[in-house]
Amino acid sequence: MNQSQRLLLIISGGIAAYKCLELIRRLQDHGVSTRVILTKSGSEFVTPLSISALSGEKVYQDLFDLTDEQEMGHIRLSREADLVLVAPATADILAKMAAGLANDLATTALLATDKPVMVAPAMNPMMWQHPATQANMETLKSRGIAVIGPEAGDMACGEQGSGRLVEPADLVQAVLSRLQQAQTLAGKKVLVTAGPTIEPIDPVRYISNHSSGKQGYAIATALAAAGADVTLVSGPTKLAPPQGVNFVSVQTADEMLSASKAALPVDIAVFAAAVADYKVSNAASQKIKKKDGKTPKLEFEANPDILATIASKKESRPDLVIGFAAETENLLENAQSKLIKKGCDWVLANDVAEETGTFGGDASEVHLVRSDGSESWRHQCKQATAHQLAAAIAEELKGR
């Protein structure tokens, strides 16, 4: 890691603010120096003294502190970092960011910065799930802001659910990958498939699956952040298209295949979509009406395997073809056989047994399976998995 790399850490108010002390310490071990802006409510939870003792730098708190402005204007403060991280990010600061408010030093720096911004939300689960917060998150994501977490678990307020700040180790990983990755995939073209496909039964009904698209969108975002030219071919999801990617919206597996072929040639292809294996071969062109005593019979035919089709291409096979294996048992064995059967270079094996909460959830625990062995990645939020994948891809291409 380049010694001169700098993080601007904005600590807003939340009980999890204490975790930032460990974050600053651990980043130092990796040669990243941290300059901190502490919001007024953040200072209720951690003191400027403990932060500056660890960061070795003055802690910035007040927009209208003339001494600060002389030493370091707020614009310079926001520009001198390589990366800006808001952690913990409260519902309040996220709302201010979404609305573009600039009524204190933190929000002013966030509006003035020309650097990548990451946020690590932490709040009560009801506040996190509130439509206002979720709408703000969609706005921020659509502007290219990376979101790390939150995680599910026991909250300091005694409630349970999604809203915990991700652990400092995960934050370190996300910050390092973002800093290291800077443009490591510049000039590379990437195809990512994501989300479910939907297969019509008639004009108003369809069969599909519960894929949220979160992992695929996070991968597209991380690869674009690393400088790649990303085409994201996605089935219907509730997520906003990530900023800076070529977004192609599709419905069926057939459409996903055509859009994926149209994106070729690419250097790297990541198939994260949960493609319906079958489509209804006797789909009706008009809405099927109820008929007394008669139950409609659906017939199925196999959908094309998008990954296998593109991996077997002679002319325009991507250099690196990466598939996913969602399994509920015999994870590594099934992933190995999928690697061979589908002709991919890597498979990210995902345990989707119900108790893991991976399917539709915010975290995953994947194993990177290659023909010559596998490595297990830690249980982490899907964005951290995406950044780790982007770093692994950059490393692989460097070695070729």
Q: Which stretch binds ligand CTP (CB under 6 A): 138-146, 171-179, 240-248, 298-306?
A: 298-306
Q: How far apart are CA 332 and CA 349, in angstroms?
A: 7
For ligand CTP, the binding residue among 32, 87, 268, 326 (CB under 6 A) is: 326
What are the residues whose beta carbons fall under 8 Å from the beta carbon of 305, sequence distance 6 or more? 275, 342
Q: Coil, strand or helix: which one is 129?
A: helix
Within 10 A of 310 (CB to CB), how many other CB atoms are there?
A: 25
Candidate residues 89, 122, 148, 273; the one interacting with ligand CTP per rule CB under 6 A: 273
Are 233 and 260 within 8 A, CB to CB?
yes
Site for ligand CTP in 33-92 (CB under 6 A): none
Instruction: Report if residue 232 touches ligand CTP, rule: CB under 6 A.
Output: no
Of 63-71, 120-128, 267-275, 287-295: span binding ligand CTP (CB under 6 A): 267-275
From residue 71, alpha-carbon distances to 66, 236, 334, 342 in Å are: 9, 50, 60, 59
Closest to 44 (Cα-Cα) out of 18, 70, 66:
18
157 in catalytic set: yes
Binding range to ligand CTP, per CB under 6 A, among 170-178, 223-231, 322-330, 378-386 = 322-330
**Of 253, 349, 369, 392, which lies in the binding site for ligand CTP, with binding defined by CB under 6 A?**
253
Residues 6+ apart with CB under 8 A from 314: none
Size of the chain, expressed as the number of residues it contains: 400
**Residue 153: CB minimum distance to ligand CTP, A:** 28
Instruction: Report yes or no: 119 and 161 within 8 Å, Cβ to Cβ.
Output: no
In the list 92, 151, 305, 345, the residue contacting ligand CTP (rule: CB under 6 A) is 305
Question: Should residue 271 be labelled a site residue for ligand CTP when binding is judged by CB under 6 A?
Answer: yes
Collapse the DSSP code of 60 into the 3-class scheme (helix H, G, I; strand E, B; otherwise coil) and give the result. Answer: strand
Instruction: Print the binding letters for residues 178-217 with ligand CTP: x by CB under 6 A, - otherwise.
Output: ---------------x------------------------
Residue from 184, 252, 303, 336 binding ligand CTP (CB under 6 A)? 303
Binding site for ligand CTP (CB under 6 A): 193, 253, 271, 273, 275, 277, 303, 305-307, 323-326, 338, 342
Q: Which residues are catalytic?
A: 157
